[in-house]
């Protein structure tokens, strides 16, 4: 049985795009050490079941999931968000 790793996303890098589904390019964190991966890499890790990611929002942990845009593109968002990945987009920029 494969063991799933868990990591907190505490920063993002985004491009200057109006469409929220295309904005995030990288996600990162600092536990156990500084790390940063591309959004497609994070999507692959979630879909393979190797990793689960979460963000801290309003004092509680919220899972990051893979969603499908109206145009058929995969992107990351947090569970309580309706349609826009605001919890992720509000994180600070990764170094």
Question: Does residue 89 lie in a domain region?
Answer: no
Does the pLDDT at position 73 exceed 90?
no
Residue 68's H or E segment, with its range, is strand 60-68
Q: How many domains does the chain have?
A: 1
Question: Does residue 66 lie in a domain region?
Answer: no
Question: Does residue 50 lie in a domain region?
Answer: no
Q: How far apart are the first and last CA of the chain?
A: 35
Which range marks the domain in which residue 20 is found? 12-42
Residue 84: what are its φ and ψ, rounded to 5°? -120, 140
Does the pLDDT at position 82 exceed 90?
no
Mean pLDDT for the stretch of residues 71-83: 79
Look at residue 75 and give its three-state secondary structure: strand
- pTM, rounded to two decimals: 0.86
């Amino acid at each position: 049985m494969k063991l799933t790793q868990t990591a907190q996303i505490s920063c993002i890098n985004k491009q200057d795009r109006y469409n929220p589904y295309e904005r995030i390019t990288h996600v990162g964190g600092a536990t156990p050490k500084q790390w940063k991966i591309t959004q497609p890499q994070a999507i692959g890790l979630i879909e393979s079941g190797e990793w689960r990611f979460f963000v801290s929002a309003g004092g509680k942990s919220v899972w990051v999931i893979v969603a499908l845009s109206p145009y058929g593109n995969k992107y990351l968002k947090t569970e309580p968000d309706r349609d826009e990945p605001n919890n992720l987009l509000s994180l600070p920029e990764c170094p």
